[in-house]
């Protein structure tokens, strides 16, 4: 009986060592995987997502650990693009991925980013809000014959993507854009018989016209 229990103890030890020696291949990829994702505004109404992924191992230098990254960019009605890549981290365990830059439109745009190493995963979503169409209020202004040279009228801008610019179809009418308003100035004596067109353009290239009577 003693021999039986001795053999049983030996067999148990062998089984324990066998189990401890086996692994999935990703056994070293323990620890944590963190990701931060932010929207970065570019020029002309474009934006992109910047994602920093950090892998931390409790005991080992993470240098060389592969991080798989993927991004999907879409609106409620269309898929814009998909992309994936794999990079290795340095001793800091951190690496940054930059998504495709997309232009703000009349629908919201979603940028889904994910990262993975072994069984550790992270997911973030960046939302680029929709913009309203560019508009001007009022859409027509008129100078009176009693208005002196240098009289100014103001048009308010809404929607579109700032900053805005403005131009006049004639030097008789001056124009300047500041913030969300356009100042229109008459540079000549008013007859009430002439017209001009003010074109207001946003940084995405969209434009709206204002009619000026002078």
Same domain, 89 and 170: no
Q: Which domain holds residue 145?
A: 135-213
Which whole number is the average pLDDT over 83-99?
Answer: 97
Q: Could you say which of 128, 156, 182 is where a domain stops?
A: 128
pLDDT per residue as tens digits for the range 24-47? 334 456 899 999 999 999 988 899
Confidence tier at 203 by pLDDT (50, 70, 90): confident
Q: Give the chain's domain count.
A: 2
Domain termination site, one of 112, 128, 144: 128
Q: Are residues 121 and 36 part of one domain?
A: yes
Residues 196 and 146 in one domain: yes
SS3 call for 7? helix
* 19 found inside a domain: no
Tell me, yes or no, whether 20 lies in a domain: no
Q: Are 102 and 47 in contact (CB under 8 A)?
A: yes
Terminal CA-CA length for the chain: 117
- Same domain? For 124 and 160 the reply is no
Secondary structure E strands in the chain: 32-41, 46-56, 66-74, 79-88, 94-98, 102-103, 109-117, 120-128, 135-137, 140-142, 152-158, 165-168, 173-178, 181-186, 195-201, 207-213
178 and 201, same domain (yes or no) = yes
Q: pTM for this one?
A: 0.65
pLDDT of 143 reads 98
pLDDT, position 89: 97
Beta-strand runs (E) in 28-92: 32-41, 46-56, 66-74, 79-88
Domain shared by 73 and 143, yes or no:
no
What does the alpha-carbon distance between residue 43 and residue 164 come to, in Å, rounded to a whole number? 13
CA 208 from centroid of its chain's CA atoms: 26
pLDDT in tens, 117-154: 999 999 999 999 998 999 999 999 999 999 999 999 99
In this structure, are 44 and 122 located in the same domain?
Answer: yes
Stretch 80-93: mean pLDDT: 97
Last residue of a domain, one of 128, 160, 192: 128
CATH of the domain at 172: 2.60.40.10
Whether residues 112 and 81 share a domain: the answer is yes
Buried b (16+ CB within 10 A) or exposed e, 126-161: bebeebeebebeeeebebeeebeeeeebebebebbb
Q: Which residues, in sequence order, are CB contacts of 159 under 8 Å at separation 6+?
A: 131, 132, 133, 134, 135
pLDDT band for position 2 (50/70/90)? Answer: very low
Mean pLDDT of 177-195: 96
Tell me whether residue 11 is in a domain: no
In a domain, 26, yes or no: no
Residue 171 CB partners (closer than 8 Å, separation 6+): 187
Kindly report the average pLDDT of the chain as a whole number: 88
The answer on 173 and 90 residing in a single domain is no
Same domain, 123 and 40: yes
């Amino acid at each position: 009986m003693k021999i039986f229990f001795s053999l049983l103890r030996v067999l148990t030890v062998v089984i324990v060592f066998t189990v401890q020696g086996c692994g999935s291949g990703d056994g070293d990829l323990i620890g944590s995987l963190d990701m931060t994702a932010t929207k970065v505004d570019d020029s002309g109404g474009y934006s992109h997502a910047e994602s920093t992924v950090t892998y931390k191992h409790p005991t080992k230098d993470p240098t060389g650990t592969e991080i798989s990254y993927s991004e999907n960019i879409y609106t409620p009605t269309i898929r814009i693009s998909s992309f994936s890549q794999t990079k290795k981290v340095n001793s800091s365990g951190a690496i940054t991925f930059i998504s495709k830059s997309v232009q703000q439109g009349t629908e919201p745009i979603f940028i889904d980013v994910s990262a993975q190493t072994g069984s550790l995963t992270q997911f973030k979503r960046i939302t680029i809000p929709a913009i309203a169409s560019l508009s001007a209020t009022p859409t027509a202004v008129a100078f009176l014959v009693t208005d002196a040279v240098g009289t100014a009228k103001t048009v308010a801008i809404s929607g579109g993507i700032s900053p805005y610019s403005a131009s006049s179809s004639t030097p008789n009418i001056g124009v300047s854009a500041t913030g969300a308003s356009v100042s229109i100035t008459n540079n000549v004596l008013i007859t009430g018989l002439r017209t001009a067109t003010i074109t207001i353009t946003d940084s995405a290239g969209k434009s709206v016209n204002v009619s000026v009577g002078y």
